[in-house]
Amino acid sequence: MPDADSPNPSVRGGRADTPGGPVHELLAPREAALGGSTVVRRLLPNLGRRMVGAWAFVDHYGPDDIADEPGMQVPPHPHMGLQTVSWLHAGEVLHRDSLGSLRTVRPRELGLMTS
């Protein structure tokens, strides 16, 4: 009889022609406008990954030389019943919401917003 602290793992697969194990795939992003001058590369949602759902987004912004530009400008928009995570590798983003909250997200920080 197996010990309760050491489970007996089993390999699960899909159909007979689909082996169990990690899936590695490369999805191509598409450009999406977030405002007048802000364009991101959107990886999700993606036609190849419909199961993710309409409320999951994975966007990439930058690098972008904004020395003579206003930078990321996203107009006010509703956030209802969702959660966003911002993870910066470089630069910083000043986030202002409709409640008046103001927060700068910097590299190696995680910005979490729940509505």
Structure confidence at residue 91 (pLDDT): 82
Looking at the structure, tell me whether residues 64 and 41 fall in a common domain.
yes
Whether residue 1 lies inside any domain: the answer is no
Looking at the structure, tell me whether residues 71 and 89 fall in a common domain.
no
pTM of the model: 0.59
Whose CA is closest to 79, among 94, 95, 92, 61? Answer: 95
Looking at the structure, tell me whether residues 80 and 64 fall in a common domain.
no
What's the pLDDT tens digit per position in 16-37? 666 666 777 778 888 988 877 7
Structure confidence at residue 47 (pLDDT): 77
Domain count, the chain: 2
Full residue range of the structural domain in which residue 96 is found? 76-115
Per-run averaged pLDDT (10 residues), the chain, 115 residues: 60 61 78 81 78 70 77 73 78 79 87 78
Whether residue 46 lies inside any domain: the answer is yes
Looking at the structure, tell me whether residues 81 and 113 fall in a common domain.
yes
Whether residue 34 lies inside any domain: the answer is yes
Looking at the structure, tell me whether residues 68 and 80 fall in a common domain.
no
